[in-house]
Amino acid sequence: KHNDRYITFLDTPGHEAFAALREHGARLTDLVILVVAADDGIKPQTVEAIRFAKQAGVKIIVAANKMDKATEAQLNQLKAQLAENELLPEDFGGDTIVMPVSAKEKTGINELLDMVLLVSDVEELKADRDVPGEGLVIEAHMEKGRGPVAIALVEHGTLNAGDFVLIGGTYAKVRNLEGTDGKPITKAGPSMPVIMTGLKNLPDFGDEFDVVKTEKEARQRAATVAGDRRASSNNAASSGSELLRMISRSNKLTEFNIVIKADVQGSLTSVIDSLKTMDNEEVAVRIVSSGVGIINESDVHTASTAGAVLYGFHTSLPNHVKQLASRDKVPVRIYTVIYELIDDVKKEMEDRLAPEVVEEVIGELTVKGIFKIAKTEVICGGQVSKGNLKIPSLARLFRGKELLADNLEVTKLQRGPTEVTEVPEGEMCGLSFKSEKRVEVIEGDRLELFTRETKIRTL
**Claim to verify: residue 167 and residue 202 sit in the same structural domain:** yes
| Predicted local distance difference test score (pLDDT) of residue 205 | 65
For the chain, give the percent of residues with pLDDT over 90. Answer: 57
Number of structural domains in the chain? 4
**Claim to verify: residue 370 and residue 333 sit in the same structural domain:** no
Question: What are the φ and ψ backbone dihedral angles of 139, each rounded to 5 degrees?
Answer: -170, 145
- The CATH number of whichever domain residue 36 belongs to comes to 3.40.50.300
Q: pLDDT tens, 217-239? A: 999 998 988 887 767 644 433 43
| Predicted local distance difference test score (pLDDT) of residue 407 | 95
298 within a domain of the structure (yes/no): yes
At 432, the pLDDT band (50, 70, 90 cuts) reads: very high
- In 125-253, the DSSP E strands lie at 134-143, 147-156, 159-160, 164-167, 170-178, 184-185, 187-188, 193-199, 208-212
50 within a domain of the structure (yes/no): yes
Question: What are the φ and ψ backbone dihedral angles of 410, each rounded to 5 degrees?
Answer: -75, 120
pLDDT over threshold 50, residue 267? yes
Cβ atoms 38, 70 nearer than 8 A: yes
Q: Using CA atoms, how far apart are residues 235 and 31, in angstroms rounded to an integer?
A: 29
Cβ atoms 316, 325 nearer than 8 A: no
Q: pLDDT tens, 70-90? A: 999 999 999 999 999 999 999
| Predicted local distance difference test score (pLDDT) of residue 142 | 64
22 within a domain of the structure (yes/no): no
At 307, the pLDDT band (50, 70, 90 cuts) reads: very high
Q: What is the pTM of this model?
A: 0.49
| Mean pLDDT of the region 185-210 | 88
**Claim to verify: residue 37 and residue 74 sit in the same structural domain:** yes
| Predicted local distance difference test score (pLDDT) of residue 181 | 86
Q: pLDDT tens, 329-356? A: 999 999 998 889 999 999 999 888 888 8
- The CATH number of whichever domain residue 395 belongs to comes to 2.40.30.10
**Claim to verify: residue 284 and residue 339 sit in the same structural domain:** yes
**Claim to verify: residue 231 and residue 140 sit in the same structural domain:** yes
**Claim to verify: residue 347 and residue 361 sit in the same structural domain:** no
- In 307-355, the DSSP E strands lie at 309-313, 332-335
| Predicted local distance difference test score (pLDDT) of residue 111 | 95
Among the residues of 232-328, which ranges form H helices? 233-236, 265-276, 297-306, 319-327
Q: pLDDT tens, 395-425? A: 999 999 999 999 999 999 999 999 999 999 9
Q: Which of 326, 351, 376 is the last residue of a domain?
A: 351
**Claim to verify: residue 271 and residue 194 sit in the same structural domain:** no
Q: Which of 351, 369, 387 is the last residue of a domain?
A: 351
Domain with 440 in it: 356-455
pLDDT over threshold 70, residue 250? no
| Predicted local distance difference test score (pLDDT) of residue 280 | 79
> DSSP secondary structure string, 18-69?
HHHHHHHT----SEEEEEEETTT---HHHHHHHHHHHHHT-EEEEEEE-TTT
Q: Using CA atoms, how far apart are residues 253 and 215, in angstroms rounded to an integer?
A: 30
Q: Using CA atoms, how far apart are residues 94 and 111, in angstroms rounded to an integer?
A: 20
